[in-house]
Amino acid sequence: MRIIKEKLNFSIVFHFHQPVDNFDHVIEYAYKNSYLPLIKTLTEHPKIKCGLHYTGSLLEWLLEKHPEYIDLIKELAKKGQIELLSGGFYEPIFAVIPDEDKLAQINMLKDFIKSNFGLETYGFWLAERVWEPHLPKILELAKLKYILIDDFHLRANGLTEEETFYPYITEEQGSKVTVVPINEKLRYLTPWKKVEESIEYLSKYPDNKGDRLITLIDDAEKMGVWPAGDRTTYDICFGQGYDGTPWLPKFFTKLEELDWLNIITINEYLKKFMPKGLVYMPTASYDKMSYWVLPTPARKRLENLVDKAKKGEIPYSNDILKFAKGGFWRGFFIKYHESNAMHKKMYYVRDKIKLVEGLFGLNREGKMIEAMKNAWREIYKSQCNDPYWHGQFGGVYFAFMRQSIYHHLIRAEKIIENIMRSYKSVITPSIRELDIDFCGRNEIIMETNKLNIYINCFHGGSIFEIDDKISCNNILNVFQRRKEAYHNENNNLPYDRWRKYAFMDHFTTDTIDFENLINDKYIECGNFVDNEYESSIEIQDDMIIAKLWRTGLIHKDDNAYDIEILKSIKLKENDSNFSVYYEIKNLSNEELAINYLTEFPFYLSGDIIKSKIFIDDNEYALYENNKFDTNQIKIKAFDKNIGLEIKFSEKNIILKYDIYTFNTTDGSKDMLYQGTSVVLIKPLEIGPNQSVKFHIIIKIEQL
């Protein structure tokens, strides 16, 4: 290596994060294999300075489970070896939560760090680096000096690689923040290549001005728990490395030996050097995120284009890699309606909190009772980003993560309802028409003190959410099976034609068996499923009722039959059950013989091994596909102490099957349980101008 007299500033930041409510054993594994060895290695290299960012919920976990680790961080802080960065306490995507919550989450983490470490914070960690141009206003209000942004954003704006070796100023309506670029090249070298390659890259860029700054920003979990072929990064970083030497200690040692490298925290750099100038950036995240968010056909086309450009197989490959840009993060709300449902429910429950604040003066700036603080804390927890998206780490496919969001939202809702009752205000039973999912059309929201039921009139008059307020679970937390860009066309995976909502109305001439049901391959003869129903709502004493109806067609043997379906969904205050009453009318002049079916999908627990089905006096495993001729089914999830009883007004053929998705996240291929579906199959023979009636009762039990 050549002798270099010039200087280069170098900053390292490690980001530590676990999703809210992640399993203890998962966090403990990350602690033992990444968090602890990383910090211990840092203590053994006193010349290495770096920034550390911990999300608030992880810091709380560390404080409770490993206070000795907190002491290690305090010691590093006393030596001036680290700076701690702020961010959102529960790691939300900042662009998609209200400004008031942005500021509250930042201040929560700043206050926590000040209280437990005695440190001021100046830098801001942006979750998943989802940048939108309005953010500087909040950061200035929070008195934060700088934000970390991928250099990809700047290069896509026309800057050269060398021009990204400096911080810049950006502003929104006069509010300023310093942008510190994250070096993409180093992020892909670390720790996937030999230490010498990272050092060689750095050695190219010192100059005699000495004001350049290259930043290495990495997930702490990457230093220990990520898969790496037939081993994990623990073996790379703290075991055999690539040459029998642990990668991370070797990297730190090599850095300490370089007299041309000034290892510095970002805050120290900004005290010494001025930003390079002004920059403006469009909405963006890191490159892969902009691919993942695209609809599957578009994502496949873009990833194919980028892959060819990386191989130099097409003209202008370098320009394509520099300027090709996919979608932006909010597209996940469109791509996955399950994500949108959680996000918009957050706004709905949050509006309830604001209403109570306004009615009783219990706002955050003035009088604040402890219960109100707890309600806001639940809202903030529900904003944790992981369950809202899908990519290498996004967890919208993980049912337990989605259930965590619903759990905190329902808890917040219960707190608010209890506050209102304490002020002698009646809040349930309630039924209203409201555009809760922001689709431009009203849904029906039914609420009692024990249950919430959300009805979508524009997707088959179906139920898309059932909240059990006792256990704080949404038992319709079931995921639609979709075609993803990484799916192999030859695998014949099952996909759903329609959303996995409850009580959609299907008609078919096919004989329904497990194969065509699980694979959603039967012929649909009606135009009721996923179509618009008319509706009305009413209250009768302590009973709330939603009525839905649609006149449509059934096509069979080249004939069309006029059919009317009437559904009444009834929910009573203080009951843990609701009823769905059906009347199917044949408005045609000929007899209709057809198979009717409707599904009730549910999710009680991810541990289906510990869940059972009971038919009469017989017990069956939940994970087995079953066919019954019965008028009653009971399901019990013993690990969650919650049960479900489904009663039919008469004996019917019932098929029960489990719903799985097939996913690739961190390179592994996972079969993920998304829920179980109970399917009513009812052969109908309806004479001209005749009708059939039946009903279903759903009861939720605490075991």
Work out the number of other CB atoms within 10 angstroms of the CB of residue 300. Answer: 17
For the chain, helix, strand, coil in percent to 5 are: 35, 30, 35
446 forms bridges with which residues in the sheet?
431, 453
Q: What is the pLDDT of residues 479-488, one digit of tens each?
A: 999 999 999 8
364, pLDDT greater than 60:
no
4 CB-contact burial (10 Å; exposed 0-12 / middle 13-18 / buried 19+): middle
Between 82-86, 268-272, 393-397, the lowest mean confidence (pLDDT) is in 393-397
Contact 601, 586 (CB under 8 A): no
Per-residue confidence (pLDDT) for residue 1, from 0 to 100: 47
693, pLDDT greater than 90:
yes
Q: What is the pLDDT of residues 398-448, one digit of tens each?
A: 999 999 999 999 999 999 999 988 888 878 899 999 999 999 999 999 999
476, pLDDT greater than 80:
yes
Helix H, strand E, coil C: the string for 287-354 is HHHHHHCCCHHHHHHHHHHHHHHHCCCCCCHHHHHHHCCCCCHHHHHHHCHHHHHHHHHHHHHHHHHH
DSSP structure string for 488-524 = -GGG-----SS---BS--EEESSPP-HHHHHTT-SPP
CA–CA separation, 235 and 245 (whole Å): 10
Interior angle at CA 563, CA 562 and CA 569, nearest 5: 160
Per-residue confidence (pLDDT) for residue 150, from 0 to 100: 93
Per-residue confidence (pLDDT) for residue 105, from 0 to 100: 98
Residues noted as catalytic: 128, 219
Strands (E), 143-192: 146-150, 168-172, 175-182
Q: How confident is the model at residue 182 (pLDDT cuts 50, 70, 90)?
A: very high
Contacts of 551 (CB under 8 A, 6+ apart): 562, 563, 564, 587
The dihedrals phi and psi of 493, each to the nearest 5 degrees, come to: -70, 150
Q: How confident is the model at residue 3 (pLDDT cuts 50, 70, 90)?
A: low
CA–CA separation, 366 and 422 (whole Å): 19
- DSSP-derived letter for residue 183 is P
Structural domains in the chain plus CATH codes: 8-219+256-292 (3.20.110.20), 328-427 (no CATH), 489-702 (2.70.98.10)
396, pLDDT greater than 60:
yes
User: In the predicted model, what is the mean pLDDT of the chain?
Assistant: 94
Per-residue confidence (pLDDT) for residue 365, from 0 to 100: 53
Q: How confident is the model at residue 666 (pLDDT cuts 50, 70, 90)?
A: low
Contacts of 3 (CB under 8 A, 6+ apart): none
Strands (E), 313-366: none
Of 505, 547, 555, residue with least CA distance to 528: 505
Per-residue confidence (pLDDT) for residue 45, from 0 to 100: 97
Per-residue confidence (pLDDT) for residue 229, from 0 to 100: 86
Start-to-end CA distance of the chain, whole Å, equals 69
Instruction: Average the pLDDT over 206-218 and give the result.
Output: 95
577, pLDDT greater than 50:
yes
Q: Is 102 helix (H, G, I), strand (E, B) or coil?
A: helix
Q: What is the pLDDT of residues 490-518, one digit of tens each?
A: 888 999 999 999 999 999 999 999 999 99
Token pair recorded at residue 319: 């320009």
